[in-house]
A and B are shown apart, each in its own frame.
Chain A
Amino acid sequence: MRLLFFLVSKNWASSHLRLVLTWLGVALGVAVVMGIHILDHNTILSQLERRRWAYGEVDFELRPKNTQIQLDAALAELRKNPDLASVGLLNRASIRMKNEAGTVARAFFYGLSPLARNPFGHYRVARGKAPSDLETENRVLLPDTLAEALGLAIGDRFIAEALPLEVLGACVDGRLVSPDRKEKAEDLPRAELVLSGILEPVRLARQHAGLVVIGSFGLANHLGRHPRPVVQVDRAEGVDPDRLAASFREDYVVETERSALIGEDADERAFRNGVKVLGALALVLGMFVIFHTLSHSLAERIRRLGILRSLGATQSQVSQVFLLDSFLLAVFGAVGGLFGGIGMALALEGLGLTTLGFGKTIGSFELPWGDMIVIALLGVGFTMMGAAFPLFKIRNLSPTRILHARDLAPPVDLMRGVHVFLLVLLVLAVPVTYLALTPLLESSGQGAVMILVQVVGIIALAFALLLLTPRLVPVLGSFPLALFRRSQALGCFLVRKQLLRSPGRIGTSVCGLTLVALAMLGLRSLTASLKGEIHGFSQEALAERLFVRADSSELLPRQAWQRIQDLPEVETVLPLLALHNSDLLMVGTESLPLAAKGGVFEGAPDLARRFSKERTLVLSRRLASLRKASVGDRLPILVGSRVEQYEVLAVSDRDGFFPDERAFALIDLRWMKQDFCQEPNIVRDMSLRLAKGSSYRDAERSIRKLGYPLSWVQSGQNIESFYLKDVDRDFFFFDVLLYLLLVLAGVGQVNLITLFTLAREREIGVLRALGLTRQDFVKVLLLESLVLGFLATLLTLVIGLPLSYILVHGLREVSGLSVPFVFPMAEAMAVSLLIFVVALLASLLPALRVAGLPPARAVRAPE
């Protein structure tokens, strides 16, 4: 062991630069992956905590898929799960309470099991005490306000009974009516309860304006008319919420809308999936750098290995030296990456970024040590593999052949095969590992996985072409060299020789740079396409329009619509009455403006008539896309307790949009009254189409002069620019990550060139002795970088186009947006330029270092 540590320490002492660069490669690779993971973990955690403040410390609510399942058995099973800290049941019932004096109050009864232990912190007792967990328990807790309203003191008794069904009225022909059949009062479930304690106004006691009763789960079941018990769980500390949720999905419906596990909206989920995919890319690239750096580092030191062998060291001893060397570097690198990752996550959080985009806050910061250690071990594992591969390759070579490894170089490439190994490992194994570690979110996950598979496929195809047929490298590399053949004859000659000598090394570097360039280009394509989509939408829904919202205290009556319509700046007024019905945003309006010039029914009076007379609707493009509905389809719409069929008359964004939501259904105000009992003569929102030549400012001034209290007036142009800025703002996070990846790729490149030039010190010395100046040498390296940049750019452009198409197509699938495909040619050029710059910068450090080397020392450098 002493010999091992002695040799490793000597090895490290002999080249600080190699040591630092290798360490940096490992650390940076691990840090990027670690940073993304920590940030994501804390983003989700904060979402959960925000929910807890208002609800309790519940991570998930689970509803068994099998309705016949025995809850007790399911609970017993869940309680065995080591990833769960707490498991419980909750049920809710609407009740009516009556005290001895006959005072009545309505409230919501929350039944909990366990109740006394209160594992989720659903309530806090201010006075009195919590009821027991007994099945027969009839003692309950009330908030102070409710207890006072009923004149109850601790120990007092009162009656609770289920709410009769007729209390929930239904809208029939524009009027709210009760059901014909009335339940007999004596048939209603009821119970005599005892006030056991007073609740603090927090958590559940804050719900429903404090009209809450907390008691046993059994009581809630007894009083509830439609019992829908849910299983509540709280994860053990450090357990990844995503993975835990994924583990439940086979047996349970995980109620994401209540658990707040993920962002509320589809775009947030898509965003987070994007982060995950980028995380996979970071992992690929990080491990790519680590593996490649270590492999080359060892391959370049192979001669020392031969010397040790010739001095009597066994193959096993030699392997131990190099593996220990790599292991220590890997561990130090992983530790560096671990702290770097924490720092990166904190820095991104400081910038206001989360994995759900901007605008979300991270409350407390927790480190998921379990996952962090797995990521660090993954880094160590890859580093070890990077070291082990060349050792494996030379296991059967004799010491003398190893000693002459340099002479063997052209026909026997020690790194041959490593690229194939790397390719298979990185494009298949790593993404799978990463996705297993942090599964993509369920709703849009499958789509995202399919995109990932396609993306990985196309990249693998192109990379495989380059890595498996390295002869392509000198062939393709000769094109940019042709430009310099006359002015830089020597440089071209030497670079061509390099291309022939190490096509694998150069091919791998090209792939590394291309990977980042592709990610950047893909992102730009997404951004450009999203902006294209917004522009298309804007042309249809926002151009020459003014959007007006009244103050909530005073809405806009029909007279106001008329007065605004009479303004010379206004061509059409579209009153908008919004209603969230089930999961659908319905917007009521009049048919007349729809048939006017520029309206959705322009030139189609029959449709306008049908819109008014029949149960019909106009779907916005996004809603039609989400529902996969088209003209002529009949959509079932929940109307009270019944379902009515509405026919789709048109799919258009021309009318009805108000800048909150792009997925909406437009119906006539008549039907808003008829089916939903909404008052059709008063609205809060309006969309105005301006007369030709009118300016937004003039129109706004004229409208405000009318004296209506308006809280909001915005032009379509402003709304478009807000949307466009929103795209840039959200994608800024990806930009930050991509620039980090670019740094990572750059460091990998610096590593490779430095290791390569260190190994060529003697050769460089000979060239200097033969009359090569420092400047000549720097030119040679820069020329080599130019070739590298050219190949990376070529590959980026060749793969970039189909890749961008797949990404945009994927976005279309996942988000339901009608995103046009826009290939950002100018930005593709900018990305190419950036790759050239990175390649040149990466070669500059080693070039300057070697150029500064005294030629006499280089000539004496050991072979």
Chain B
Amino acid sequence: MPRPPIILEAEGLERFEIDVASSNGAGEDQGVVKILDAVSLTVREGEFLTIMGPSGSGKSTLLHCLSGLDRAQKGRVRLGSTELYDINETQRTLVRRRFLGFVLQFFNLLPDLTVRENIELPLLIAGERPKFHADRIDELMEVFGIQGLEKRQPHTLSGGEMQWVSVARALSTRPSLLLADEPTGNLSSRAGAECMEHFVALRKRYGIAILLVTHNPRDAAYGDRVLFLADGKLDPSTQLEGPDLDAAAVFSRLEELGI
């Protein structure tokens, strides 16, 4: 069976920052902190890839660099057929708008907008008229069980409900790839598990690829493949994949890697 085509490819990503506090100007590399160190990875269509790493390992930075929200100083990122770092910031935004959906840890719903307006927002940003996509929005609300909340404002929702709105918003433009940054970080363990089940169901229903970064081994185990990020480095040889992937396997690999 042929493998699905690659939707996202990153090669040799390096991102470093000057640490002013430790810099004394003595040497060339003095005070330079590498956030990402020669990171390469691929995501194929319909794949559920998780990147596992402790706090401060560079997970969010990697996600931002992969999406074009930020850019690495070295390396390249190809999204679909577009080299993200060969185009300007506006063009990157347009590519991101077409291909990607974003789920952020802190929900980041706009407080003035109702639930439905929050979900419709990416369509508006893309210049589309939400009423032409009402069926899709209704379907998403139904999938996440938030049909009755459409006129509510974010501050009246529970944490779980806010996250469902956030995921529904990310899917409203039917992206090919969903990027999720610690989506369960602000949820109870029960809501967190429910959230991950939703991701799996979404993938089956829409055939969407998912790239999820997390520090939770249980969440990581939902992926087809788990990559481990430590000190900005991603070693492909340490990845886990296969049908018997579970939280225990992720734990033991973490122990092996000393993370």
Residues of A within 8 A of B (CB): 404, 406-410, 489-490, 493, 497-498, 500-501, 762-763, 765-776, 854-857, 859-860, 863
Residues of B within 8 A of A (CB): 60-61, 64, 67, 69-70, 89-90, 93-94, 96-97, 102, 104, 106, 108, 110-113, 117, 121-122, 124-127, 129, 153-155, 169, 173
A410-B121 in contact given A766-B110, A863-B106 (Cβ < 8 Å)? no
Chain A residue with Cβ nearest B128: A489
Q: Is the CB of B155 within 8 A of A489?
A: no
Question: A766-B108, A770-B169, A859-B69 are known contacts; what are 20 more A-B pairs with Cβ within 8 Å?
Answer: A407-B154, A409-B111, A489-B127, A497-B110, A497-B112, A762-B108, A765-B108, A767-B110, A767-B125, A769-B108, A770-B102, A770-B121, A771-B93, A771-B122, A772-B125, A774-B89, A774-B93, A855-B69, A856-B61, A857-B70
- 11 A/B residue pairs, CB under 8 Å, sorted by A: A406-B111, A410-B112, A493-B117, A493-B124, A766-B104, A769-B67, A769-B102, A771-B94, A771-B97, A771-B126, A863-B106
> Which residues does chain B contribute within 8 Å of A854, judged by CB atoms?
69-70
Q: Is the CB of B127 within 8 A of A410?
A: no
Residue from A404, A408, A501, A860 within 8 A of B60 (CB atoms):
A860
Q: Is the CB of A497 within 8 A of B113?
A: yes
| Cα-based distance from A773 to B90 in the complex (angstroms) | 6
Q: Is the CB of A408 within 8 A of B155?
A: yes
Q: How far is the CB of B157 from chain A (nearest CB, A)?
A: 10
> Which residues does chain A contribute within 8 Å of B124, judged by CB atoms?
489-490, 493
Q: Is the CB of A776 within 8 A of B125?
A: yes
Q: Is the CB of A772 within 8 A of B93?
A: yes
> Which residues does chain B contribute within 8 Å of A768, judged by CB atoms?
69, 93
> Which residues does chain B contribute within 8 Å of A497, judged by CB atoms?
110, 112-113
> Which residues does chain B contribute within 8 Å of A863, judged by CB atoms?
106
| Cα-based distance from A762 to B97 in the complex (angstroms) | 18
| Cα-based distance from A856 to B71 in the complex (angstroms) | 9
> Which residues does chain A contribute within 8 Å of B126, judged by CB atoms?
771
Q: How far is the CB of A484 from chain B (nearest CB, A)?
A: 13
Q: How far is the CB of A774 from chain B (nearest CB, A)?
A: 7
Most buried by A among B93, B97, B129, B169: B93
> Which residues does chain A contribute within 8 Å of B89, judged by CB atoms?
773-774
> Which residues does chain A contribute within 8 Å of B60, judged by CB atoms?
860
Chain B residue with Cβ nearest A770: B122
| Cα-based distance from A498 to B110 in the complex (angstroms) | 11
> Which residues does chain A contribute within 8 Å of B121, judged by CB atoms?
767, 770
A769-B129 in contact given A406-B111, A407-B155, A859-B104 (Cβ < 8 Å)? no
> Which residues does chain B contribute within 8 Å of A410, judged by CB atoms?
111-112, 153, 155
| Cα-based distance from A498 to B112 in the complex (angstroms) | 8
| Cα-based distance from A246 to B243 in the complex (angstroms) | 96
> Which residues does chain A contribute within 8 Å of B110, judged by CB atoms?
497, 763, 766-767
> Which residues does chain A contribute within 8 Å of B125, judged by CB atoms?
490, 767, 770-772, 776
| Cα-based distance from A773 to B121 in the complex (angstroms) | 14
> Which residues does chain A contribute within 8 Å of B108, judged by CB atoms?
762-763, 765-766, 769, 859
Determine the main DSSP class of A at the interface with B. helix
| Cα-based distance from A500 to B108 in the complex (angstroms) | 20
Q: How far is the CB of B101 from chain A (nearest CB, A)?
A: 9
| Cα-based distance from A93 to B155 in the complex (angstroms) | 89
Q: Is the CB of A769 within 8 A of B112?
A: no
Number of A-B contacts (CB under 8 A): 84
| Cα-based distance from A285 to B148 in the complex (angstroms) | 48
Q: Is the CB of A774 within 8 A of B122?
A: no
Most buried by A among B121, B154, B173: B121
Chain A residue with Cβ nearest B60: A860
Most buried by B among A500, A771, A772: A771
Q: How far is the CB of B65 from chain A (nearest CB, A)?
A: 8
> Which residues does chain A contribute within 8 Å of B64, judged by CB atoms?
856, 859
> Which residues does chain A contribute within 8 Å of B67, judged by CB atoms?
769
Chain B residue with Cβ nearest A491: B124
| Cα-based distance from A776 to B122 in the complex (angstroms) | 13
The 8 tightest CB contacts between A and B, nearest first, are A771-B97, A407-B155, A856-B70, A856-B64, A766-B108, A856-B69, A773-B93, A501-B112
> Which residues does chain A contribute within 8 Å of B112, judged by CB atoms?
409-410, 497-498, 500-501
> Which residues does chain A contribute within 8 Å of B97, judged by CB atoms?
770-771
A489-B69 in contact given A859-B104, A859-B108 (Cβ < 8 Å)? no
> Which residues does chain A contribute within 8 Å of B111, judged by CB atoms?
406-407, 409-410, 763
> Which residues does chain A contribute within 8 Å of B61, judged by CB atoms?
856
> Which residues does chain B contribute within 8 Å of A766, judged by CB atoms?
104, 108, 110
| Cα-based distance from A772 to B96 in the complex (angstroms) | 10
| Cα-based distance from A250 to B39 in the complex (angstroms) | 88
> Which residues does chain B contribute within 8 Å of A404, judged by CB atoms?
155
Q: How far is the CB of A409 from chain B (nearest CB, A)?
A: 6
Chain B residue with Cβ nearest A408: B155
> Which residues does chain B contribute within 8 Å of A769, judged by CB atoms?
67, 69, 102, 104, 108
Q: How far is the CB of A769 from chain B (nearest CB, A)?
A: 5
Chain A residue with Cβ nearest B70: A856
| Cα-based distance from A774 to B129 in the complex (angstroms) | 21
> Which residues does chain A contribute within 8 Å of B70, judged by CB atoms?
854-857
Q: How far is the CB of B40 from chain A (nearest CB, A)?
A: 20
Q: How far is the CB of A217 from chain B (nearest CB, A)?
A: 80
Q: How far is the CB of A486 from chain B (nearest CB, A)?
A: 10
Q: How far is the CB of B244 from chain A (nearest CB, A)?
A: 35
Q: How far is the CB of B206 from chain A (nearest CB, A)?
A: 18
Chain B residue with Cβ nearest A863: B106
A773-B69 in contact given A407-B155, A409-B111 (Cβ < 8 Å)? no
| Cα-based distance from A765 to B102 in the complex (angstroms) | 12
Q: Is the CB of B129 within 8 A of A775?
A: no
Q: How far is the CB of B209 from chain A (nearest CB, A)?
A: 18
| Cα-based distance from A772 to B67 in the complex (angstroms) | 14
| Cα-based distance from A756 to B97 in the complex (angstroms) | 26
A490-B127 in contact given A407-B155, A410-B112 (Cβ < 8 Å)? yes
Q: How far is the CB of B100 from chain A (nearest CB, A)?
A: 8
Q: How far is the CB of B55 from chain A (nearest CB, A)?
A: 14
| Cα-based distance from A406 to B155 in the complex (angstroms) | 9
Q: How far is the CB of A57 from chain B (nearest CB, A)?
A: 64
> Which residues does chain B contribute within 8 Å of A498, judged by CB atoms?
112
Most buried by A among B94, B102, B129: B102
| Cα-based distance from A861 to B60 in the complex (angstroms) | 13
| Cα-based distance from A493 to B153 in the complex (angstroms) | 16
Chain A residue with Cβ nearest B155: A407
| Cα-based distance from A697 to B165 in the complex (angstroms) | 85
Q: How far is the CB of B141 from chain A (nearest CB, A)?
A: 18
Q: How far is the CB of A397 from chain B (nearest CB, A)?
A: 15
Q: How far is the CB of B218 from chain A (nearest CB, A)?
A: 25
Q: How far is the CB of A403 from chain B (nearest CB, A)?
A: 13
Q: How far is the CB of B89 from chain A (nearest CB, A)?
A: 7
| Cα-based distance from A418 to B106 in the complex (angstroms) | 31
| Cα-based distance from A436 to B126 in the complex (angstroms) | 59
| Cα-based distance from A772 to B127 in the complex (angstroms) | 10
| Cα-based distance from A770 to B106 in the complex (angstroms) | 14
> Which residues does chain A contribute within 8 Å of B102, judged by CB atoms?
769-770
| Cα-based distance from A738 to B250 in the complex (angstroms) | 70
Q: Is the CB of A773 within 8 A of B154?
A: no
